[in-house]
Structure 1
Amino acid sequence: IEKYLGNNLTSFAKTSGTFGTYYQITNLKPDSIKPTAGLLASVTYKGYLLSKLNDGSVVKGNLFDATTTVSKPLIFGIDNTFVIQGFNDAVKQMRKGEKATFLLPSCLAFGSRESYQGQIPAYATLLFEDVELLDVRTEDQVLQQYIKANNIVVTTKTSSGLYYASLSPGTGNFPTDNQNITVSYVLKFATDGTIVQQNPAFPSVLSNLIDGWKEGIKLMKVGEKAILLMPSSLAYKSTGSGAIPPYTPLVFEITLISATG
């Protein structure tokens, strides 16, 4: 990294630790919000390898990833382990609206693992250019923006932060904790509306479900269709689950098919 930076080394700062991420921030916004643990950061970037030539010089190598290829920013929860540590640590040094360049040692990137289908070899040093912190939001702000963008009429917002919107009424009873229920559902990320899971007939005991479901489904009657929008504190919290990263607010479109027992 130091060889690549050369005479420009003094213009870069370094995150704490024996091995830190080098970062240079431009377009300073000293009065803007800074991302902290649990907040959602929206970031654009271009990622390159640093390559060592035969003469010992270090140059910018191949592009391995860029948000421009998918035409949308990366949205992630700060300190959620969903992104590599060096990138997360450097974004935490920025404020909304600022731009930056990052240089990550391999130990704060992918370490001894290959990644990006072999585009990133083991022990690779990474360069991120055109990093821009577009937005910093709370999970509730993300949920409110999803509600507004999708013209959802909220029936109830609970004290825990759950939004419940009834789409069509049911004719049966309200379920209770220990009943066996069957639901159909579609799960989406509140950040961008991406569909994560679908299940036309999911059986479970109500008391075994995530907190947001336990609370929200008890507001529904059998036969009802509703939308439940919930912060990660009511879903998969700081650990995540499978394809769901930590600190991710979720949207469930649910039909309560039955409740028995």
Structure 2
Amino acid sequence: MKKLLFIATLILFVSCSKDNADIDYRTQNDEEIQAYLAANNLQAQKTTSGLYYIIDEQGTGAQATFTDRVKVAYKGYLTNGTIFDESQTGLSFPILQNLIPGWAEGISLFKEGGKGKLLIPSHLAYGGKKNGKIPGGSVIIFDIELIYVNYVTENDAQIQSYLSDKNLVAEKSSTGLYYIIDEAGTGAQPTKTDNVTVAYKGTFLNGTVFDQSNTNGISFNLNEVIEGWTEGITYFKEGGSGTLIVPAHLGYGNLDYFTIPGGSVLLFDVNLIKVN
């Protein structure tokens, strides 16, 4: 079983098992971290795992959990100041728990928009073996900014930019779904458990079509489709048409789904033909 941390274009692996080198470095690493903090006049918190962290800004958005996707800007360096990697604009990591334990734990201490520092002993990073530019048994330090948790904030900014560029006005629901009603329709209005027949075309924000029906539409139960459809179709009556702009958390989430990349905003032109 392996854990990995994607850093720039590298894939770095760390074993879940512990060897003697890991155990031997714990006391040494802890002393090294405390010496670094004292030398740089820093105050840090220490967790039960041995991770040290400093929260400069807590952040005000969502707080990351181990199963979340995160986007983080960071600089990674050793206690002697040697930088081994950095990303000023930030990189996305699909699942937080798949990163090295020091990151998985440390990032979960911040909320979206938060900034701070993680001081990670080797048993929570790459152990006693050399890993790229990182010597075996090294304490590694990261200055981090948690830019996004999942795609909620990022998708919302993408959608608003799209609407502005296209000079469109949309309604936004409490869930984060955007919708435009071109024709409200005059027939029956479905509930979230109804079976409906809908003609549609699904595109990404760049206009690329990923799926579409014919003009006769397809029939399905509204409680068996993505949340953006379950909610969005109920805003129309029979004969109604318009557009649903579905953020990833109401669509297919953080991970790739067939031809739909993880985190994608989906746009659907829909025509509610019938409530069955």
Q: Distance in 2 between matches of 1:198 and 1:110?
A: 43
Determine which of 132, 140, 150 is the counterpart of 2:145: 132
1:86 paired to 2:115: no
* SS of residue in 2 equivalent to 1:179: strand
**Equivalent residue number for residue 243 of structure 1:** 256
* Pairing 1:183–2:183 present: no
Label 1:147 to 1:99 Cα distance change in 2 as closer, same or farther (>3 A): closer
Counterpart among 51, 62, 76 of residue 47 in structure 1 = 76
1:36 aligns with 2:57: no
Preserved CA contact (<8 Å) 2:241 2:272: no
Query: What residue ranges of structure 1 are gaps of 5+ in the alignment?
Result: 51-57, 112-117, 189-194
1:45 alignment partner AA: Y
Q: Per the alignment, in what secondary structure is the counterpart of residue 100 of structure 1? A: strand
Question: CA–CA distance in 1 between the matches of 2:203 and 2:254?
Answer: 16
Secondary structure class of the residue paired with 1:243: coil
User: 1:157·1:164 contact (CA, 8 Å) conserved in 2?
Assistant: yes
Aligned to 2:173: 158
Counterpart Cα distance in 2 of 1:85 and 1:74:
18
CA deviation after TM superposition for structure 1 residue 102, in Å: 1.9
Q: How far did 1:254 drift?
A: 0.9
| 1:175–1:222 Cα contact (<8 Å) kept | no
Aligned 8 A contact 1:184 1:200 in 2: yes
**Matches of 2:117 and 2:46 in 1, distance apart?**
13
Which residue of structure 1 lines up, in the alignment, with residue 7 of structure 2? none
Structure with bigger helix share is 2
Q: TM-score, normalised by structure 2?
A: 0.52
Quote how far apart the aligned CAs of 1:253 are.
Answer: 0.8
TM-score (norm 1): 0.54
1:5-32 CA distance string (max 9 Å, x none): 3622554634422x2322245xx458x6
Change (3 A) 1:170 1:67: farther
Asked whether 1:256 is paired with 2:276, we answer: no
Going from structure 1 to structure 2, the CA distance change for 1:214 and 1:87 (only over 3 Å counts) comes to same
**Alpha-carbon distance in 2 for matches of 1:255, 1:88:** 39
Q: Which has the larger radius of gyration?
A: 2
- Cα distance, 1:91–1:160 mapped onto 2, change above 3 Å: closer
* In structure 2, C-alpha distance between the alignment counterparts of 1:43 and 1:63, rounded to whole Å: 16
Matched, 1:200 2:220: no
Q: Is the alpha carbon distance of 1:81 and 1:61 closer, same or farther for their aligned partners in structure 2, counting shifts above 3 Å?
A: same
Alpha-carbon distance between aligned partners in 1 of 2:84 and 2:187, rounded to the nearest angstrom: 57
Q: 1:13: which partner in 2?
A: 44
Shift of the alpha carbon at 1:45?
0.5
Structure 2: gaps of 5 or more residues: 1-28
> Relative to structure 1, is the Cα distance of residues 258 and 34 closer, same or farther in structure 2, using a 3 angstrom cutoff?
closer
What is residue 54 of structure 1 aligned with on the other side?
Answer: none
Matched with 1:67 is 87
Q: Equivalents in 2 of 1:199, 1:214: separation in Å? A: 19
CA distance 1:102–1:212, change in 2 (3 Å) = same
Paired-residue identity, %: 23
Asked if the contact 1:34/1:93 (under 8 Å) is kept, the reply is: no
- In 2, Cα distance between the equivalents of 1:153 and 1:21? 48
What number of residue pairs does the alignment pair up?
Answer: 223
What is the CA distance between 1:164 and its match in structure 2?
0.9
Spell out, residue by residue over 1:156-192, the C-alpha distance to the aligned partner (whole angstroms, 9 max, x if none): 33354432134x669998885323545332356xxxx
**Corresponding position of 2:117:** 101
User: Is the partner of 2:53 in helix, strand or coil?
Assistant: strand
**SS of the residue aligned with 1:101?**
strand
Question: Are the aligned partners of 2:151 and 2:254 in contact in 1 as well (CA < 8 Å)?
Answer: no
Letter in 2 for 1:127: I
How do 1:208-223 and structure 2 match up within 5 A? 208-219=224-235
